[in-house]
A and B are shown apart, each in its own frame.
Chain A
């Protein structure tokens, strides 16, 4: 495959940010189909439109997801990308790798694909970008036999779960996000590989309410670590911040002179519930008023730690705007145990209750958040056998249109209008 002129893309070799164009050109020296990737992209830059056709169902035997078919609409001009299918590899939890593992993946992709990847796709998969249909089965064979790895999800199935790095390198994590993510990924291999749902379903696991994997914005089932007891205070640490021995917010603001650390202004006044105050140089917290927003802990990590009675809050039903508008996940279970020792049975029970219901009532291409919107949160809570609590709402309803059930009303709904008319004339 010859090199194409790419005057527009060449402009993107300039500038301080790493250039994917330079990278593609380097790869093209070994994998000449990359010249055709560049050529077709240059054509898109010129035409200001995509040159990929819609769809194309390809895959490996026995799986209904993990491969996304893609074909060029200018294959004669760019035969190297005539087929350009995506292979989604299920990433290890929180994306730690050894160089040996990555080199194996690179070698496999040098043999069977274009050499280009996404590290990583939006859902979390390690995405191998661009291969031909005839390469899919041999690639899958070597992936499973030699690399002992598997494909991720695509289509109306459980998408590849993902998590923050949790206890591996973060002092805030209240749950073992990686163990949970790995366990559920293994437990639900069938649901990941064989689409049987009304639409996609995403799990994301964040260790604390900072929510670094955007679980509350992006997942149908968000498990977000939290705690029930008191924020742990080290008063010596508080004094360290007051004296200026420790740099606030872990040094996140080091590039500008914001003045001396002011605990009143920077912590106490920014607490959303106003549950903190100073008595002399001792910091006090009324933990019963705390909503665990993380701000004070973020600002003073050497003085404040998350509580010890740890678990998670489960929020359900986030999605991007298509079609009725974006949704954040709705707080459904205020506190749940997340226990590796019982294989996370409490979490699994919740998941399967949601699925049993959604698989029955969810319409084609309806995310669970949309199903909940359609039937209403009260119905969903009832289905889930969850006791409704003020924590489920921002405020009570402002309209009076309650769907009373007949069994809730004294005497039921059956009445005799003739009897009524005897007392109340027309």
Chain B
């Protein structure tokens, strides 16, 4: 038996969905499902959940890259087999969690993890920088304006100390999306690292007829910058193609998504914007969007020093200035954005003033503001 390439539809199984979650629960989780009373974080990366009947579940959280090999997954499995009856889980932020049912089992687990070089750092709980969620970047994506795994590694190396400690005013969620499509949904992160383009698309007249539906390419542009136009291919043939009004382009890349003959990626044009102050939680204040404070930093592999410095600077100024429990966005709202720019020393440029849809909502319509160094 097995797959028969001559008869691919024989014995075909489809639409069976994922395996049921319950079979993967450690016994202490299964037994106390829906019966948890409270939790405590015993030390950075170690949680204890107490059940109504007194049972305890100890969780050790480990940071991991999002891009990982099956060799490393097998090593995580080895840890789970040695300490956790063979159970483990991943968080929504790419951390791995190992759960045990007694305090006595925590130290051997921590010792084991510590003995594995830097592959399994413990942390990411409480008022820390948890793992940075991100997208594919140059490792696998066709539209990125920057890399993902490399930038994240460089950033996390520099702020590692904040992953393994609880010394921030609140949790800080950092996220990276490698282009404006934002598969990483960085629009609601405390600090967002976003790949951006700055050159309008080129038009490959030789290829466009074979690759694109012209009306789809035209309608892909939210600013009406793309018009149908006749063009001449390199072999002298006249074809139906498009023309782009470059001065209307806001570099979203949607045209390239719809039409592969309109590439816009470029080593000098592409880079990274930094946005801050987003949050998802409803705690205290409403969820907030991240706001652009640095419109462009260059792509400088392998370690993106300007990006790393910018993230670290924002994090440390926030850490020093914010009140306990205040998320980055709540801190910005309290002190005012003029103070944010002054305290962080980030130059305020006209690029941070919105001139796209719904922009008016972000302009100041009051005489209330603070006199900072910006007002001469």
Contact = CB atoms under 8 A, between A and B. Distances in A.
Interface in B79-99: 80-81, 86-92, 94, 96, 99
Nearest to A168: B29
Given A106-B70, A293-B283, A162 B92 contact: yes
Interface in B220-254: 222, 252, 254
B280 A211 contact: yes
Nearest to B163: A17
Contacts of A253: 126-127, 166, 324
A77 interface: no
Interface stretch (A118-126, A282-290, A378-386, A404-412): A118-126
A250 B80 CA distance: 26
Contact of A37 (B49, B66, B125, B139): B139
A323 B68 contact: no
Contacts of A328: 188, 287, 289
B171 to A, nearest CB: 7
A205 B376 CA distance: 50
Contacts of B165: 255
A270 B334 CA distance: 13
A368 B43 CA distance: 43
A55, A101, A141, A162: most-surrounded residue (chain B CB, <10 A): A141
B12 to A, nearest CB: 7
Nearest to A303: B38
B281 A211 contact: yes
Nearest to B13: A144
B153 A12 contact: yes
A176 B266 contact: no
A353 B91 CA distance: 32
B194 to A, nearest CB: 9
B346 interface: no
Ranked 4 nearest A-B pairs via Cβ: A252-B126, A15-B157, A255-B166, A320-B182
Interface of B: 2-3, 5, 8-9, 11-21, 23-25, 29, 33-34, 36-44, 49, 57, 59, 63-74, 76-78, 80-81, 86-92, 94, 96, 99, 118-121, 125-127, 133, 135-144, 147, 149-150, 153-154, 156-158, 160, 163, 165-168, 171, 177, 180-185, 187-188, 222, 252, 254, 256, 260, 263, 265-267, 270, 278, 280-285, 287, 289, 299, 301-303, 324-325, 356-358
Contact of B356 (A63, A138, A325): A325
B283 A149 contact: no
Interface of A: 8-9, 11-12, 14-21, 23-24, 26-27, 30, 34, 37, 41, 44-55, 61-63, 70, 84, 86, 89-103, 105-106, 109-110, 115-120, 122, 124, 129-130, 137-138, 141-142, 144-145, 148-150, 162, 164-165, 167-171, 173, 176, 178, 182, 185-186, 189-190, 193, 209-214, 216-218, 247, 249-256, 258, 266, 270, 272, 292-295, 298-299, 301-302, 305, 320-326, 328
A255 B167 contact: yes
A214 B185 contact: yes
Contacts of B71: 23, 26-27, 30, 115
Nearest to A130: B140
Given A170-B36, A253-B324, A17 B142 contact: no
